[in-house]
Amino acid sequence: MSDIIAYKDHNNEYYDHEIENGIPVKSKSEDALNIMRHDMAHILAEAVTQLFPNAKPTIGPFIKNGFYYDFDMESTLSDEDLIKIEEKMREILNEGRSFIKRTVSKEEALKIFKDNKYKVELINNLDNSAEINLYDQKNFTDLCKGPHHSSTKDYEANIKITSVSGAYWRGISTNKMLQRIYATAFYSEKELNKHLKNLEEAKERNHRRLGTDMGLFLLTDLSAGNVFWKEKGLTLYQNIEKFIRSEQQKLDYKEVKTPELVSNELLVKSGHWDNFQENMFTSEKDNKTFALKPMNCPCHIVLFNSQLITYKDLPLRYSEFGKCHRYEPSGALNGLFRVRGFTQDDAHIFCTDEQIYDACNETTQLIERVYKKFGFEKIKYNISTKPEKSIGSQESWDNAVNQLKKVLTDNGKDFKILDGEGAFYGPKIEYTLEDSLGREWQCGTIQLDFNLPERLGARYKDKDDKNQTPIMIHRAVVGSLERFIAIILENTNGWLPLFITPIQLAILPVSEKFVDHCNDINSKLKDLDVRAIVDSSDNKLGYKIRNSVSKKIPYSLVVGEKEIETKTFNVRSRKGENTSFKNIEELNEFFKNN
RNA sequence: GCCGCCGUAGCUCAGUGGUAGAGCACACCCUUGGUAAGGGUGGGGUCGGAAGUUCAAUUCUUCUCGGCGGCACCA
């Protein structure tokens, strides 16, 4: 039997027949796993249609880590239903199924699927020249371009239905909502369990739980989508801000603070009022309309315009930890990941065409430096180019895109081009980081803007004393501080990098006798900017250690008779490793350097 | 906004048509203890909110607010 089950092209599209320059897909490979999961989607559809004869199958692709199938059904699926479906799938798998391909005419296909308007729609949308393939299995036939394994007997499939949710037909929100069943499948039970355990772990690492346990912040329905920062959370927030600020100062950024509430006059001029009014919080006073700013750029241009700027002032870098508000649909809110009030680590660089390269180059290096410091090493880069609807000449777009490409290339980065994905006003680079659970987060961005400076009348004088319009570069490193804090919390499971963690050290007296001594140490450490607390409870040492570890305090300092006599400082890491220091300065060094 | 699930003490969660319970946390007492839980006692919630059904609702129904998993959205 051949080891090759399918072919794929260079866009990772799979085919059930050999193609020109096709890459063979070998059985049990990563690609084969996708195909196997697609097989399972068909098995799922058979199970569902057997149990619910009126269910109309629509589409069921494989996705990252699994697959789904969307059904139009009369009743919604309960947890018990899912268990039954999963059992049915196992039953079917025990019997085994062959996937037999058959090519039919359009008329035939329409006849076969006449009771399923979704399949009819799909068939009618196919090119007239396109071959229409069906895959037959016992009790189920699906419209499908394949490929499939010839039989489920070719492998062992370990399946698990993971969830059910609503999903619009064809992803269009005016269409009917279907029921989507998510599931996953692996060749071995071991891999399946590992994946399920991973999901569990991700749940455990939930930043909402960590935030509550660590006393960082409060989310309450008294202001849905807005964060109440507690003192420890604010320390964390400020430490992140502090680090980014210091990096920006090295690059001659000028930090500013602009109003959160602005007259809509500004937003009308900038064009945001026309396009995004629905997403702003507004209020009326003095017969005027005000809005909470949804972004900082118009305000920065107001500052730019308030003074005479010449070419000598460029590039001019305005940065702001700007509090913005956006009305997000209720269903979009999600912990700190998606909020209505957030702080952008925003900046706008005003510059000339010639300065684009340098500005973007220093920014990409800045972004990388910051990510690295926070423990993110894996970064993906995308460049988005001119969309169909856009402003600015083709020439200026080409120039700008080439500069962006050159920046990444010169910095030794691989990147993807997302054709036509740029904003209407300019191209951009997006920075996506990968966390320790393999999840990806788009955080940083560099976005060129050929529109807004012109619209708001930004001008500088060139060497010939003529007015020119600057290019504006929007850039953010971590994006929203709120979201970034959620990402770091989940990435580290609460074991935050030492330089930002709210409490670095728990000072633990062995008994009450040593509490005063501990307080003395703490006040000295305070002067040295080490963030410590003294546990003066009357619990035993083991208990105090357990407590400080469970509060995610990375180090503890045990103080008792021995330490006072020998004048040493014994620091215990959360893993139980001990390090001894001779004096408080040495101890301080340790905290400064870790 | 849409589909589904959920909302009980500070936290995690159990439970019932007759006004609630555990563990952790907290307070007090005993213990003055050396590297991940010493022992005892005690306080604390009207079960998200509103309305309805009922002799009686935290438990059933409807509405509403909020959360979660997705979908849609994300300048």
Q: Please give, one letter per residue, the 3-state secondary structure of A566-577.
A: HCCEEEEECCCC
pLDDT at A2: 61
Structure tokens at A298: 């118009």
Which of A's residues 474-533 have CB atoms within 7 A of nucleic strand B? 510-513
CA–C1' A94–B41 (A): 60
Q: What is the DSSP string of A492-521?
A: HTT---TTT-S--EEEEESSGGGHHHHHHH
In this structure, what DSSP letter does residue A153 have? G
Nearest nucleotide by C1' position to the A539 CA atom = B33
Q: Which of residues 51-90 of A touch strand B (CB under 7 A)?
A: 76, 78
pLDDT over 90 (residue A505) = yes
CB A267 within 8 A of CB A333: no
- Residues 211-270 on chain A lying near strand B, CB distance under 7 A: 212-213, 219, 221, 224-225
Nearest to A475 by CA among A448, A454, A441: A448
| pLDDT value at A492 more than 90 | yes
Answer whether residue A158 shows pLDDT above 70: yes
- Please report which confidence band the pLDDT of residue A130 belongs to, taking 50, 70 and 90 as the band edges: confident
> Residue A177: which nucleotide is closest by CA–C1'?
B3
ipTM: 0.94
Q: Distance, angstroms, CA A214 to C1' B32?
A: 29
Q: In what order do the strands lie in the sheet with A505-509?
A: A532-534, A505-509, A555-559, A569-573, A578-581
Q: What distances in angstroms separate CA A436 from CA A205, A440, A498, one per listed residue?
A: 11, 10, 18
And the tokens for A419?
């054709």
**Is the backbone of residue A65 left (phi > 0), alpha (psi -120 to 50) or beta?**
left
End-to-end CA distance of chain A: 57
Closest nucleotide over all strands to A329 (CA to C1'): B1
Place of tokens 């920006």: A248
Q: What pLDDT, in 10s, does the model give residues A205-259?
A: 999 999 999 999 999 999 999 999 999 999 999 999 999 999 999 999 999 999 9
* Residues of A annotated catalytic, as ranges: 297, 326, 344, 346, 348, 428, 474
The strand pair at A341-351 and A471-480 is best described as antiparallel
Burial of residue A561, with CB atoms counted within 10 A of its CB: 0-12 exposed, 13-18 middle, 19 or more buried: exposed
A166 CA: nearest nucleotide by C1': B3
Query: In terms of Cα–Cα distance, which of A296, A196, A202, A200 is closest to A486?
Result: A202
* Cβ count near A586 (within 10 Å): 13
Q: A179: Cβ under 7 Å from strand B? A: yes
Output the pLDDT for position A491: 95
> In whole angstroms, what is the distance from residue A129 CA to residue A271 CA?
45
Q: Give CA–CA dist A209/A110, Å, rounded.
A: 51
Tell me which residues from 305 to 344 on chain A have a beta carbon below 7 angstroms from nucleic acid strand B: 326-335, 338
**Distance in angstroms (rounded) separating the CA atoms of residues A281 and A261:** 10
Q: Enter the pTM of the model.
A: 0.94
Average pLDDT, chain A: 94
Cis peptide before A147 (omega within 30 of 0): yes
Burial class, A171, CB count within 10 angstroms (exposed 0-12 / middle 13-18 / buried 19+): exposed
Residue A226's pLDDT is: 96
Return the closest-CA partner of residue A41 out of A4, A73, A16, A67. Answer: A67
| Strand B neighbours among A 259-298, CB < 7 A | 272, 275-276, 279-280, 294-295
Is residue A341 a contact partner of residue A490, using CB atoms and an 8 Å limit? no
Nucleic strand B near CB of residue A181 (< 7 Å): no
* Closest-approach nucleotide to residue A168, Cα vs C1': B71
Contacts for A72 with CB less than 8 Å, ≥ 6 apart: A55, A56, A58, A118, A169, A176, A178, A179
- Is any atom of nucleic acid chain B found less than 7 Å from the CB of residue A175? no
Q: Which two tokens stand for residue A277?
A: 């009014």
Q: Is the peptide bond before A259 cis (omega within 30 degrees of 0)?
A: no
Per residue in A60-100, pLDDT (tens digit) is 999 999 999 999 998 888 888 899 999 999 999 999 999 99
For nucleotide B12, the protein residue with its alpha carbon nearest to C1' is A209
Contact between A23 and A8 under an 8 Å Cβ cutoff? The reply is yes
C1' (B53) to CA (A566) span, angstroms: 76
Q: What is the DSSP string of A316-339?
A: EEEEEEEEEE----GGG-BTTTB-
> Quick check: A72 and A55 in contact, CB under 8 A?
yes
Q: pLDDT (tens digit, 9 = 90+) per residue, A374-411?
A: 999 999 999 999 998 888 889 889 999 999 999 999 99
- Mean of pLDDT values over A175-181: 95
Distance CA A498, CA A495 (A): 8
In which band, very low, low, confident or very high, does the pLDDT at A471 lie, cut at 50, 70 and 90? very high
Distance A223 CA to B8 C1' (A): 23
pLDDT in tens, A315-364: 999 999 999 999 999 999 999 999 999 999 999 999 999 999 999 999 99
Q: Which pLDDT value is given to residue A265? A: 95
Q: Separation of CA A333 and C1' B61 in angstroms? A: 29
Q: How many CB atoms sit inside 10 A of residue A504's CB?
A: 20
Closest alpha carbon to C1' of B74, residue = A328
| Nucleotide at minimal C1' distance from the A209 CA | B11
Structure confidence by residue, pLDDT tens digits, A511-557 = 999 999 999 999 999 999 999 999 999 999 999 999 999 999 999 99
Do residues A360 and A429 touch, judged by C-beta distance below 8 A?
A: yes
The whole-number average pLDDT for the span A173-188 is 95
Chain A residues 84 to 123 with C-beta below 7 Å from nucleic strand B: none
Q: Mapping DSSP to helix (H, G, I), strand (E, B) and coil, where does residue A63 land?
A: strand
> Could you tell me which of A410, A411, A448, A412 has the C-alpha nearest to residue A429?
A448
How much is the CA Rg of chain A, to the nearest whole Å? 30
CA of A526 to C1' of B73 (A): 47
A368: pLDDT strictly greater than 90: yes
Rounded Cα distance between A394 and A383, Å, is 16
pLDDT of A1 over the 60 cut: no
Chain B nucleotides covered by protein, CB below 7 Å: 1-5, 7, 11-12, 25-26, 30-38, 65-75
The contacts of residue A188 (CB under 8 Å, 6+ apart) are A156, A158
User: With bands split at pLDDT 50, 70 and 90, how would you rate the model's confidence at A21?
Assistant: confident
Mean pLDDT, residues A429-441 taken together: 92
- pLDDT of residue A128 exceeding 90: no
